[in-house]
Amino acid sequence: MSGRSEFQETEVAAVHERGHLTWAQRVEGRAIKVWLFDEAQTFATTQGHRCAKLVIEQRLQPRVRLSQDPEELKRVHTLGKFAELATSLALGLPLPTCDTFTTLPDVEPFNVRATQSSKGELIIRTHDSRMWPYMLCFAKREEVTLIGWCWPNDVCFDNRLRDPGNRGKAYFIPQHLLRPAWEKPKARLVNEARGDYGNEEGRTGEPGWMSEQVEGRRAGVYSGRA
C-alpha cells in the first residue's frame, strides 16, 4: 500500500482530508482519478472483509452467482469498497457502509460498480434497481478512476443483454455511453428515487451534494439531462 508520504502533490492532483481519511484526486477529461492513502485504504479493506464475513455468516444469497471461497469473497468485496470509498470522497457523498444486498444505493445517490480493466464495461444486472444512477470505477485498490455514470433506463436495452460464464443475465454498458464522472444528476430525479419529492436540495437541506473538492464544479462543467 502506498502512503501519503510517497505521493508527490501537484497543482492538478491535490491532497485532501476528511476526518482521518486522506486522498488525492484530479480530473482527467470525463473521469476523476483518486489515490487513497493510509487510513483510507485500511477503512476500505476492513469494510470489504466485514461484508465478505456477513455473506458467509448470514448465508446471504445474492441473485448473481458469486464464488463462495472466503478469500475470493474478501477480494471482490474489498475491491468494491475501494471503488465506493473513492466515489464518496471525490464527490463529497456519504461514506459507504457494510449494508449488503439491500435496495439502498451503495453511496447515495450512486450504485457503484468496479472493474479491473481500464476498458471494462458497466454491468447492470436484470434484477438491479432502476431507481438510482450507476457509477463505473476502474479500481486497482488504492488507485481508483471514476469513469462515469448513467441512469439505467437510458442505456439498458435488449441488444446489450448478455450472460457470459452463465452467471446470470446482465446489461453490459460501454464507457462511451456514460456521463462524465463529475457531472451532477439533477436533484429532482434523485429526490424522486428517495421519495423526497418536496425538497429540491436533498435530504440534508444543503444546496447540492458534491464537494468543492471536485475541480469540475469550480469550472462550472455540469450539463446534460437529469
Q: How would you write the chain as a 3-class SS string?
A: CCCHHHCCCECCEEEEEECCEEEEEEEECCEEEEEEEHHHHHHHHHHHHHHHHHHHHCCCCCCCCCCCCHHHHHHHHHHHHHHHHHHHHHHCCCCCCCCCCCCCCCECCEEEEEECCCCCCEEEECCCCCCCCEEEEEEECCEEEEEEEECHHHHCCHHHEECHHHCCCEEEECHHHCEECCCCCCHHHHHHHHCCCCCCCCCCCCCCCCCCCCHHHHCCCCCCCC
In this prediction, residue 222 carries a pLDDT of: 30
- What pLDDT was estimated at residue 213? 34
Segment 70-85 shows an average pLDDT of 92
Q: Which of 86-95, 173-182, 195-204 has the lowest mean pLDDT?
A: 195-204
Using a pLDDT cut of 90, give the percent of the chain over it.
52
Question: How confident is the model at residue 55, as a pLDDT?
Answer: 78
Average model confidence (pLDDT) across the chain = 79
* pLDDT more than 70, % of the chain: 74
* pLDDT at res. 66: 56
Q: Are 91 and 148 in contact (CB under 8 A)?
A: no
Q: Is the pLDDT of residue 45 over 80?
A: yes
**25: pLDDT confidence band, cut at 50, 70 and 90?**
very high
The whole-number pLDDT of residue 127 equals: 87
Binned at pLDDT 50, 70 and 90, residue 197 comes out as: very low
Task: Say what the pLDDT of residue 192 is.
Answer: 76
Determine phi and psi for 224, rounding to 5 degrees.
Answer: 90, 175
Is the pTM higher than 0.85? no
Average pLDDT of the residues in 132-140: 96
Task: Kindly indicate the confidence band of residue 59, based on its pLDDT and cuts at 50, 70 and 90.
Answer: low
- 87: pLDDT strictly greater than 90: yes
Q: Above 80 in pLDDT, residue 50?
A: yes
User: Residue 90: which of 43, 40, 51 has the closest Cα?
Assistant: 40
- Residue 138 above 90 pLDDT? yes
pLDDT reported for residue 52: 86
Q: Which residue has the higher pLDDT, 97 or 81?
A: 81
Sign of the four-CA dihedral 176, 173, 88, 4: negative
